Amino acid sequence: METIRKAVCVSIPVAVAIYVLVGVVTVNLVTQTLESYPHVALKDAASTMMQPYGLAGVGGVVLALSALFSTGSVINATLFSSTHFAKGMLSNDLLPDQIGDAAAEGLPERTVLVLGAITAAFTWYGSLGAITSFASLAFILVFGAMSYLAWRQRVTDEVNAAVPAVGTLGALVFFSLMLYNLYVRERYTFYMVLGIATVVFAVELLYFERERIEQEVTQFDPDVESFTEDS
């Protein structure tokens, strides 16, 4: 645990520094390309940096291959971590058994295929901006919900209520600002995000084991039980 803690503390500022450096270099080297063709701006920046040495083509190829393997590894890691999370939900009867086998050794193959198919469908019919925006909004929403639960369920005076309260308010503000920004500047992405959210909620309403979810939630927040009874 001590090693993991140190690794996290070191990796976060290093990753931030690398991203800032890449952004500054890219903006200064290929400003026009960044505006016209943002998806290939990094490749053009690498070619421009290596051009004085006669290796412009090599720089572009190396950057393109790095981006390919980096993107592939991120997709692979996300897919398998999502499958591992889904297996836990299967074990707790929060997902239908048709999704996969909770007793399978390792990761359920059916779950991997289902999540892969869903990812491919979103990639094919949606857009990269819509997917990343939806992921960001989902992260903010989950963070805000967890902060709200931490604020509501604090049981001792030792827990500082200001920390989860700030997290809840901050998540609410940033969620609203991001939606407003998408609506004003990227109307198509805004509607795509709404469409993806509608699909996600429709799947939750139709297929998830809602009674089990309600039982789990009411153990932590009794107000939910009275709300569901009234509705």
- List, for residues 69-127, the tens digit of each pLDDT value: 887 888 888 888 888 888 888 887 777 777 888 888 888 888 888 888 877 877 777 66
HEC letters along the chain:
CHHHHHHHHHHHHHHHHHHHHHHHHHHHHCHHHHHHCHHHHHHHHHHHHHHHHCCHHHHHHHHHHHHHHHHHHHHHHHHHHHHHHHHHHHHCCCCCHHHCCCCCCCCCHHHHHHHHHHHHHHHHHCCHHHHHHHHHHHHHHHHHHHHHHHHHCCCCCCCCCHHHHHHHHHHHHHHHHHHHHHHHHCHHHHHHHHHHHHHHHHHHHHHCCHHHHHHHHHHHCHHHHHHHHHC
> Which of 4-18, 109-123, 157-171, 213-227 is the least confident region?
213-227
pLDDT level of residue 136 (50, 70, 90 thresholds): confident
Overall number of domains in the chain: 1
pLDDT level of residue 174 (50, 70, 90 thresholds): very high
At 19-49, the pLDDT tens digits run 888 778 777 766 666 667 777 777 777 788 7
State the chain's mean pLDDT as an integer.
78
In a domain, 96, yes or no: no
In a domain, 83, yes or no: no
In a domain, 182, yes or no: yes
Q: Which residue range(s) make up the domain with 177? A: 127-231
In a domain, 149, yes or no: yes
Model confidence at 6: pLDDT above 80? yes
Q: What's the pLDDT at 160?
A: 76
Q: What's the pLDDT at 128?
A: 67
Q: What's the pLDDT at 108?
A: 86
| Of residues 114, 147, 149, 113, the one with CA closest to residue 224 | 149
In a domain, 140, yes or no: yes
In a domain, 205, yes or no: yes
In a domain, 220, yes or no: yes
How many CB atoms sit inside 10 A of residue 185's CB? 9
pLDDT level of residue 175 (50, 70, 90 thresholds): very high
In a domain, 145, yes or no: yes
How many CB atoms sit inside 10 A of residue 179's CB? 16
What percent of the chain has a predicted confidence (pLDDT) above 90?
A: 6
